[in-house]
Structure 1
Amino acid sequence: MTTSPAPLDAQLLLLDKHQVDALLSPDDVLQAVREAFVLHSEREGRVFPVVREPLRTGGVFGIKSGDVQAQGLLGFKAAGFWPANRQRGGEPHQATILLIDPATGRPLCVIDGNTVTTVRTGAAGGLGLQQLARPDSTRLCVFGTGVQARIQLDFALRLVPSLREVLYISTSGQRNAAFEAHFTGRCDIAPASDSNAAVAQSDIVITATPGGGALFDLEAVRPGTHLNCVGADTRGKRELPEGLLPRVRLFVDDRTQAQQIGETQWSPDTPCVELGDLLSGKTAVERAADDITVFDMTGLALQDLTVARLLHARAAEAGMGTRIAWPW
């Protein structure tokens, strides 16, 4: 058997932040993330073991990777959290995605992954609310006012039309005028001074903080509440109080990841259902009005890859991005 010589004119496509922002729309991301959940449920997409390690610089570095063999989709996201970036005027979350040709191992596209991570996580949270929150939910409480808190609330208001009131708790405990302004006209939004009271009054609770410890007391969570938990994505992080998970109906994006780096690490024997099994129809869940439900979100590599594939295709159609020679 003869093989063709390696091409000397091979190119690598680079998509920077501004190009990614121009190519993405929330509806497209929502569709891509739903596909990722279903692929994961049907085991057509593989999720490889996660790397998530602290650095001496004070940051946390991680790699999430996977593939969809039937679609020729392979790649990874190198990402993490560098809190000192705030002092430099930069974003502490940093991510870069690389798509790879599974037939040759050659890189196809390098993508700034910050917006991808932000929006795909917001879309995943929105899908969790659609599946698990009570459909008559009117009041939401969100912990955090950063990039992820904002996108989680954005998708919540898009996908749960009954929401009317939002309480928020900032890490500083102060009013955040810029956060409020982002949602002007979409809901009644105000800061909460008492986190326990805010949780007790809310139908939906979203936790989107650095995960430094329990954000409220166990007794604050009332029957019927749904919680989307975003901040626990590393060993040792948590946002929920001790003893809550054994009392709830627990849903995760990936069972193994949740037990290793999510809220579920604190109660790894708690029975759970993967959200993709609901979206694929593999499992049906009847939610009682007084059920407390939790969606433990650790982030699937497949979500990054399905969104990255979309960006790669859109950039090719639009002639966007920077192409550089990448000969064999």
Structure 2
Amino acid sequence: MNASATGEALPYPALADEIEALLRDASVVVPPRIVQALPGGGSLFVMPATDARVAITKLITFVPDNGTRGLPSIQGDVVVFDAVTGERTALLHGPTVTARRTAAVSLLAARLLAPRRDGPLLIVGAGVQGRAHLEAFAAGLGVQECWVHSRSPASANTLVAHAQALGLSARRVDDANAALADCPLVVSATPAQQVVLRHAPRDDAFVAAVGAFTPHMVEWAPGVCRERAARGTLVVDTRDADHEAGDLLQAGIDVSALPTLADCVASPRAVRGPVFFKSCGWAGWDLAAARLVSRHTPR
């Protein structure tokens, strides 16, 4: 499938439902992913996963400075197999799967944990993930108002125009830290090469922090992360975050002691204070996308 067909096969609310179902499925097996450094400073990710019916391998590259080459930072494919016969059943556009499943994971976390869902939604970072999260929160939470911040005003304006085309009220903000005081929903999806957010979000805020997915990447100041740990609820997407959640690791937080999204699905819990959801990625999310596609694709 090309990017358009892959996206059409993965509507955000249905994908969030599939991710929740996957977290309840005891047949799911996800080995540790392989991350191979590339000579130019990028990384090659090899991410297999399987359940009783579907097996996948995701092969993608991440090259942070590809924007200077006019190329996307994430490239690759998700290869889907029948787990019983071994037949290849689909080839999905890797960057589209990555964008949509990451946003659907944040959507599921917000459904389970957000103290408020009415917005405004603040998106910090107006790239692929910013756009995907805008679409996911509009489709899955009914968000009606979005504020956008980017280091590139042109990129922010483009995402604002996309939000308005979806029927949302939207505007660009030039000071993301000041905007935190007015937004109970926050998505940080920056390149995560340096701290961008230094102010604490609101006490009724839900934050989905998705930009930093290696121990050396960071978006949020360590002091903010420590304050959220002391006063609020911190949740990570999977146990892989124990060694990948750069924002939290650089703040000296014991990530291994934090609940995962699977824990929240298995045992719904009362939310204490503001919520900080740290997402680092997992091949299980790609398997959920493949399961959704496989169920609706004729053989």
Deviation at 1:189, TM superposition (A): 1.5
| Aligned residue number for residue 252 of structure 1 | 236
Which range is displaced more, 80-89 or 203-212? 80-89
Partner of residue 310 from structure 1, selected from 265, 284, 292: 292
| Aligned residue number for residue 120 of structure 1 | 101
SS in 2 for 1:79: strand
Q: Distance in 2 between matches of 1:66 and 1:132?
A: 27
**Cα distance change of structure 1 residues 265 and 38 upon mapping to structure 2, 3 Å threshold:** farther
Q: Distance in 2 between matches of 1:142 and 1:18?
A: 23
TM-score, length of structure 2 as denominator length: 0.86
Query: Is 1:294 matched up with 2:280?
Result: no
Which range is displaced more, 43-52 or 308-317? 308-317
Structure with the larger helix share: 2
Structure 2 residue identity aligned to 1:111: L
Q: Pairwise mapping of residues 39-58 of structure 1 onto structure 2 (< 5 A)? A: 39=25, 43-58=26-41
Q: Pairwise mapping of residues 4-153 of structure 1 onto structure 2 (< 5 A)? A: 15-39=1-25, 43-68=26-51, 71-102=52-83, 107-135=88-116, 137-153=118-134
Deviation at 1:269, TM superposition (A): 1.1
SS in 2 for 1:205: strand
Q: Report the number of matched residues.
A: 291
Q: Distance in 2 between matches of 1:207 and 1:159?
A: 18
**Structure 2, unaligned runs of 5 or more:** none
Q: Note if contact 2:61-2:76 (Cα within 8 Å) is conserved in structure 1.
A: yes
Q: Distance in 1 between matches of 2:66 and 2:155?
A: 23
**Structure 1, unaligned runs of 5 or more:** 1-14, 318-328
* Identity in percent: 24
**Cα distance change of structure 1 residues 300 and 38 upon mapping to structure 2, 3 Å threshold:** farther
Deviation at 1:187, TM superposition (A): 2.8
Q: Note if contact 1:32-1:303 (Cα within 8 Å) is conserved in structure 2.
A: no
Q: Note if contact 1:259-1:268 (Cα within 8 Å) is conserved in structure 2.
A: no
| Aligned residue number for residue 178 of structure 1 | 158
**Cα distance change of structure 1 residues 149 and 175 upon mapping to structure 2, 3 Å threshold:** closer
Q: Distance in 1 between matches of 2:146 and 2:91?
A: 37
Which range is displaced more, 306-315 or 51-60? 306-315
Q: Distance in 2 between matches of 1:268 and 1:80?
A: 29
| Aligned residue number for residue 273 of structure 1 | 259
Q: Distance in 2 between matches of 1:83 and 1:142?
A: 20
TM-score, length of structure 1 as denominator length: 0.79
SS in 2 for 1:223: coil
Q: Distance in 1 between matches of 2:155 and 2:96?
A: 25
Q: Distance in 1 between matches of 2:136 and 2:4?
A: 21
SS in 2 for 1:215: strand
SS in 2 for 1:273: coil
RMSD over aligned CA atoms reads 2.4
CA offsets 1:38-85 (integer angstroms, 9 cap, x no match): 33xxx43122112224321232221222222xx232222112322454
Greater Rg over alpha carbons, structure: 1
SS in 1 for 2:276: strand
